[in-house]
């Protein structure tokens, strides 16, 4: 049974078509399109008409792809930008009318739970991880062991870029989560999202993105710091040509990497594990009925 999952994010829309065969998730197609739906949202509180059009056009493409692959079930979710926007209902009405797709706005806790699902089913751990899903508009933290923790924080790469947030401002916004550092001293820290996967791609100099070369890779604090210094000191036009970095992400990557550094430093972690598997895979598992959820 082919299943599709789509995520309408602040910076990009993503589509995954997959099957669950004998307890394994087999990816058939994965597509990401930068639509920057959350452009200007921090200042205005509104989704702008041009950003809405870019996103609806992307969803029309996703719909046609799903039809072409004859998917049996699908779920389209909208996250940070849509749930925060003053005109979210207007966006949903337009998007659903033009595409015929059913779109569900999910809260930060469910977003975190789905990301956890995607991570723990794709990587092996001797100790349950703390997972941070770093997006463009928010970052979700989840630990689903004893005394679970699920937190969604309004810190993301686009938001920090548009607000020109400093390291201190990012740390202040993450203060509640970073205060948990003593509790998670022994737990591995796993990061998902465009920023951490991009860091691995840049480190490896990937001219063409290969998820198999990114998933499960480790980055040390020093490696992240070195990449931050390199990117921060590089003019935007050169960043756009850097192997491993999508040109559409070049303007927001510096603040995204700064968020990674603040998280690592605040939680006292010398290294992170990067997961290519995240919310989309979590949706597939649940639609396949192969997951009890978190």
Count Cα atoms within 13 angstroms, Cβ side, for 149.
19
DSSP 8-state class, residue 144:
-
CB atoms within 10 A of CB 172: 13
Give the pLDDT of residue 290: 56
In this prediction the pTM is 0.94
Complete DSSP assignment for 52-67: HHHHHHHHHHHHHHHH
3-state DSSP helix/strand/coil % of the chain, to nearest 5: 45, 20, 35
CB atoms within 10 A of CB 233: 9
Give the pLDDT of residue 291: 43
| Alpha carbons 61 and 33: distance in angstroms, whole number | 10
Whether the CB-CB separation of 59 and 13 falls below 8 Å is answered with: yes
Task: Measure CA 178 to chain center.
Answer: 20
Whether the CB-CB separation of 196 and 217 falls below 8 Å is answered with: no
Sequential pLDDT tens for the chain (294 residues): 999 999 999 999 999 999 999 999 999 999 999 999 999 999 999 999 999 999 999 999 999 999 999 999 999 999 999 999 999 999 999 999 999 999 999 999 999 999 999 999 999 999 999 999 999 999 999 999 889 999 999 999 999 999 999 999 999 999 999 999 999 999 999 999 999 999 999 999 999 999 999 999 999 999 999 999 999 999 999 999 999 999 999 999 999 999 999 999 999 999 999 999 999 999 999 999 854 433
């Amino acid at each position: 049974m082919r299943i599709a999952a789509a995520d309408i994010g602040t910076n990009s829309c993503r589509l995954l078509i997959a099957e669950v065969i004998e307890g394994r998730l087999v990816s058939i197609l994965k597509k990401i399109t930068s639509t920057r739906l959350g452009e200007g949202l921090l200042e205005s509180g509104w989704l702008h008409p041009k950003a809405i059009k870019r996103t609806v056009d992307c969803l029309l493409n996703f719909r046609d792809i799903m039809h072409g692959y004859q998917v049996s079930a699908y779920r389209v979710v909208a996250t940070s930008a849509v749930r925060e926007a003053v005109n979210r209902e207007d966006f949903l009405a337009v998007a659903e009318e033009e595409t015929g797709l059913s779109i569900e706005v999910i809260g930060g806790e469910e977003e975190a739970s789905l990301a956890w699902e995607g991570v723990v089913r794709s990587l092996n751990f001797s100790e349950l991880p703390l997972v941070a899903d770093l997006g463009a508009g928010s970052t979700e933290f989840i630990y689903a062991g004893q005394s679970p923790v699920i937190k969604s924080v309004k810190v993301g790469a686009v938001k920090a870029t548009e607000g020109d947030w400093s390291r201190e401002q990012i740390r202040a916004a993450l203060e509640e989560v970073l205060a948990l550092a003593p509790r998670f001293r022994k737990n591995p820290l796993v990061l998902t999202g465009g920023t951490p996967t991009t860091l691995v791609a840049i480190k490896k100099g990937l001219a063409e993105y290969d998820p198999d070369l990114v998933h499960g890779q480790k980055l040390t604090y020093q490696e992240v710091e070195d990449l931050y210094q390199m990117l921060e000191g590089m003019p935007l036009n050169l960043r756009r040509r850097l192997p491993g970095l999508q040109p559409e992400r070049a303007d927001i990557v510096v603040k995204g990497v700064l968020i990674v550094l603040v998280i690592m430093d605040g939680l006292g972690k010398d290294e992170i594990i990067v997961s290519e598997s995240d919310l989309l895979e979590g949706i597939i598992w649940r639609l396949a009925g192969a997951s009890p959820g978190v």
